[in-house]
Amino acid sequence: MAHRHYVVGIAGGSASGKTSFLNQLKDNLPDGSVSIISQDNYYRPQSEQLVDENGEVNYDLPTSIDKEAFFSDLKQLLAGNPITITEYCFNREGAIPNKIIVQPAPILVVEGLFVFHYPEIRHLIDLRVYLDVREEIKLQRRIKRDRDERGYPEDAVRYQWEH
């Protein structure tokens, strides 16, 4: 039996509000009607990340994502199969990643910085939503988020932002 899902792609710059938007969306839809797959859980391990001329890792590049695993899991959900994702936490030393089980649902939301960048993923999306937020607002949100939730000093956040 063929499964039909409506695929929504949500993209936007770092700290544009994707997660807040998704939480509101999910809270306002019936239970079991939507499943969300986040690109954030597909970052390659730090040992596989590219470094810039100063030896710093830049996670804001499409090459930082394991797009093959992301695409494979997306296809599994579209085939009606649940997936198990290992939570991204490489940036938190000593953190033990959780296993996230995502069940297929009629509405499948894929979100992340690069969901429209990868052609194989972009072509599966029925509706594209791009959150366009002024740069200064995103920067202030990112400084606060990365400081409070990820323990990054402001100078490291600004370096990442500028490079």
Read off the pLDDT of residues 96-136 as tens digits, 9 standing for 90 and up. 888 999 999 999 999 999 999 999 999 999 999 999 999 99
pLDDT range class, residue 76, cuts 50, 70, 90:
very high
User: In terms of pLDDT, which residue wins out, 138 or 60?
Assistant: 138
The confidence score (pLDDT) of residue 162 equals: 85
For residues 111-120, b (16+ Cβ closer than 10 Å) or e, as one string?
A: bbbbbbebee
d(CA 16, CA 21): 9
Helix, strand, or coil (residue 86): strand
As a whole-number percent, the residues of the chain with pLDDT over 70 amount to 95
Q: Is the pLDDT of residue 1 over 50?
A: no
Residue-averaged pLDDT of the chain: 90
Q: Is the pLDDT of residue 3 over 80?
A: no
Query: In terms of DSSP H, where are the helices of 8-118?
Result: 18-27, 67-78
Q: Is the pLDDT of residue 42 over 50?
A: yes
